[in-house]
């Protein structure tokens, strides 16, 4: 695919990424669009990284801040987990981002977990009021409301597994990948809320004003995802 060169357009495209799994798994997809990040975020002190294209730069932000950067125009596009996106949409109304592509990377699930000795099903059936610790308060509130379960939500930002072990909460809502962390802390997964993967998000204004520069990038990434979808099906 022929992509715009610096001589064809002076439009600067800014891509917001967070360090870690999403960054690592995004690299092969953007390389399909001819974008190669030139510095390692784990060794560089820079928060704005150059790429092999003079018209594209990468900004490093916290995962929870990616939707805000893109929605507010600090970046033209970004990659963010559906878990973070759900919380952002609940807070903003969900109309400030265009979401063209499910990248099918950073896959996991948002689930309910409890101590192995806690009878979750019985508590739900009896209509017990549960104390639930989570970072994902909007997703948790909606899930339990649909089940007709009354909950008191406790917002935490880390070490979620400690909450049931210390008596702070009856249950947690958190991301689960292999389940090994739950098992190591004597917790069990008891309810599945939603499958999670990373999504490409785009600023709506950028899509209009920078369409000529953005559209080939979006198309190349979409084509790079297609083989992955075929493999997973």
Structure tokens at 182: 């739950």
pTM: 0.88
Question: Tens of pLDDT along 194-212?
Answer: 999 999 999 999 999 999 9
- The predicted model gives 5-23 an average pLDDT of 79
Q: Where are the alpha helices (DSSP H) in the chain?
A: 21-31, 66-71, 82-92, 120-125, 137-147, 162-166, 180-184, 204-209, 211-232
Q: Domain 108-196 belongs to what topology?
A: D-Maltodextrin-Binding Protein; domain 2 (3.40.190)
pLDDT at 232 over 70: no
CB atoms within 10 A of CB 159: 11
Residues 74-84, mean pLDDT to the nearest whole number: 97
**Common-topology check for domains 13-106+197-232 and 108-196:** yes
Q: Report the pLDDT value the prediction gives residue 10, as an integer from 0 to 100.
A: 64
pLDDT for the residue 88: 95
Mean pLDDT across the chain: 92
Mean pLDDT of 146-175: 96
Domain ranges for the chain: 13-106+197-232, 108-196
Per-residue pLDDT tens digits for 110-152: 999 999 999 999 999 999 999 999 999 999 999 999 999 999 9
Evaluate whether the domain defined by 13-106+197-232 bears CATH number 3.40.190.10. yes
């Amino acid at each position: 695919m022929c992509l715009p060169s610096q001589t064809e357009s002076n439009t600067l495209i800014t891509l917001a990424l967070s360090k870690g799994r999403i960054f690592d798994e995004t690299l092969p997809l953007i390389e399909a669009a001819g974008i190669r990040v030139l510095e390692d975020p784990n060794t560089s002190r820079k928060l704005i990284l150059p790429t092999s294209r003079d018209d594209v730069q990468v900004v490093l932000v916290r995962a929870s801040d990616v939707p805000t950067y893109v929605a507010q125009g600090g970046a033209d596009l970004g990659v963010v987990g559906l878990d973070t996106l759900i919380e952002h949409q609940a807070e903003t109304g969900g109309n400030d981002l265009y979401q063209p592509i499910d990248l099918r990377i950073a896959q996991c699930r948002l689930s309910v977990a409890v101590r192995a000795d806690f009878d979750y099903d019985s508590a739900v059936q009896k209509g017990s009021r549960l104390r639930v610790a989570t970072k994902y308060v909007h997703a948790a509130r909606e899930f339990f409301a649909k089940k007709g379960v009354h909950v008191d939500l406790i917002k935490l930002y880390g070490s979620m597994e400690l909450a049931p072990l210390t008596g702070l909460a009856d249950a947690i809502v958190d991301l689960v990948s292999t389940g090994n962390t739950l098992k190591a802390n004597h917790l069990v997964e008891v309810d599945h809320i939603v499958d999670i993967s990373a999504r490409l998000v785009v600023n709506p204004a950028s899509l209009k004003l920078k369409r000529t520069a953005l559209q080939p990038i979006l198309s190349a990434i979409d084509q790079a995802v297609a083989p992955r979808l075929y493999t997973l099906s």
